[in-house]
Amino acid sequence: MDTKQASFTSYPDLASEVVGGSIIFATDDWFASAENLLKPEAAVFKDDLFTDFGKWMDGWESRRKRIAGHDWCIIQLGCPGKIHGIEISTLHFTGNYPIHCSVQGASLSERLEPRSGERMGTCASSQEIDEIECLKSQNWKELVSLTELRPGYPETHRSLFNVEEPEKVTHIRLNIFPDGGIARIRVYGEVQPNWSNVEENDQLDLVAMINGGICVDYTDAHYGQASNVIAPGRAKKMCEGWETARRQDRPPILTTDLLSSFGGEWARYKLGHTGYVQKVEIDTKHFKGNYPHTFILEGTYIVATAEMLDRAEWHEIVSKHPLGPHAQHFIEDKKVKDVGKINYVKLSIYPDGGISRMLLGGHIAKDE
């Protein structure tokens, strides 16, 4: 277990509700429902809020165990893929967190129906337990062995686990021992599409998470992860996008020229497949008073590790282009330059701010 920032956290969260992650089963949801585990935003604490079942908590919390066994839930990943790491947060669960946890994974051939309805104050019915038994989840492959958790104070709530599972995972089982509350779980990894059925002239989003795109690195992600911009669908709220902090070195007075030249926060992405970009969409949905003034998109083709990108030769795909608030911006035709085949892109925003999505329409290079 590592409690510091880990390199795998730059990968997208395959379990997030943003990408379609869902809860299939949980043994008990008395104080708080397991669906909270998959929220993209950090857990919050409301000091004076209570429900008919006890203290309201932003996470999954079972009742104190008074029967034999331990609590567990099954999560269906929104984007099945290769898992590189798992993060478990006990934020705000200071006297009611589980003593230990473990995580198991499996690759199932079919997607399961997510559970529905309000679950707070309930536990799994005997019928639900019987139905879930057919998965034999207790025998799934161990991804995180039995590990001690720590209380949910700001300095101790995060537990980071390196996972190098070479096979695709579709579902995970989160075990808590014996009971208690977890705020969030993040399952960081990359999607592994089947490219054999894609033709060279097929149009697709080359950087999309569901097509294997990943965020490699970024300068700042104070309010929202840079990996969010390649998530499927339009963002439902601001926290589902990428937003930087206001630059602390910004001038006291910003001129028109400075708005387009000062700053330049950036994020770099590896395409799901080497290809040719023909259309670009930048979506600033929800960013009404904090959108960037302009952006630049560059691309490169390099057969190397991500660390060598600093020495790569970058070519402008879209020259400096204005952005507006809460809108989709479509760039195509002559405004998108033909730079040949690429496998990495660099999105730079000026001077800072937030965007919710980036789509790169194009076709793959079949010789790769």
Which residues are within 8 A (CB) of 227 and not within 5 positions of it... i.e. 6 or more apart? 10, 11, 12, 13, 209, 214, 215, 242
Is this structure's pTM higher than 0.95?
A: no
Neighbours of 184 (CB within 10 A): 25
Q: What is the mean pLDDT of residues 298-325?
A: 90
Is pLDDT at 303 greater than 90 in this prediction? no
> What's the mean pLDDT when you consider all of the chain?
94
Is pLDDT at 3 greater than 50 in this prediction? no
User: So what CATH class is 7-190?
Assistant: mainly beta
| Confidence at residue 306, expressed as pLDDT on a 0 to 100 scale | 60
Q: What is the mean pLDDT of residues 301-309?
A: 78
Q: Where are the domains of the chain?
A: 7-190, 197-364
Integer Cα distance of 42 and 56 in angstroms:
16
Which of the residue ranges 199-208, 226-235, 253-262, 345-354 would you say has the lowest mean pLDDT?
A: 253-262
How many residues are there in the chain?
368
Query: Comparing 81 with 367, which gets the higher pLDDT?
Result: 81
pLDDT in tens, 325-361: 999 999 999 999 999 999 999 999 999 999 999 999 9
Say what percent of the chain tops pLDDT 70. 97
pLDDT in tens, 17-73: 989 999 999 999 999 999 999 999 999 999 999 999 999 999 999 999 999 999 999
Is pLDDT at 149 greater than 50 in this prediction? yes
Which of the residue ranges 151-155, 188-192, 271-275, 344-348 would you say has the lowest mean pLDDT?
A: 188-192
Identical topology for domains 7-190 and 197-364 = yes
Is pLDDT at 2 greater than 50 in this prediction? no
Question: Hey, which of 161-165, 339-343, 364-368 has the most confident mean pLDDT?
Answer: 339-343
pLDDT in tens, 170-218: 999 999 999 999 999 999 999 988 888 888 889 999 999 999 999 988 9
- Domain 197-364 listed as CATH 2.60.120.260: yes
| Confidence at residue 305, expressed as pLDDT on a 0 to 100 scale | 67
Is pLDDT at 285 greater than 70 in this prediction? yes
| Residue pair 158/42 in contact by the 8 Å Cβ criterion | no
From the list 302, 292, 296, the residue with the least C-alpha distance to 317 is 296
pLDDT in tens, 96-140: 999 999 999 999 999 999 999 899 999 999 999 999 999 999 999
| Confidence at residue 17, expressed as pLDDT on a 0 to 100 scale | 93
How many angstroms separate the Cα of 340 from the Cα of each of 96, 185, 305, 344? 56, 40, 20, 12
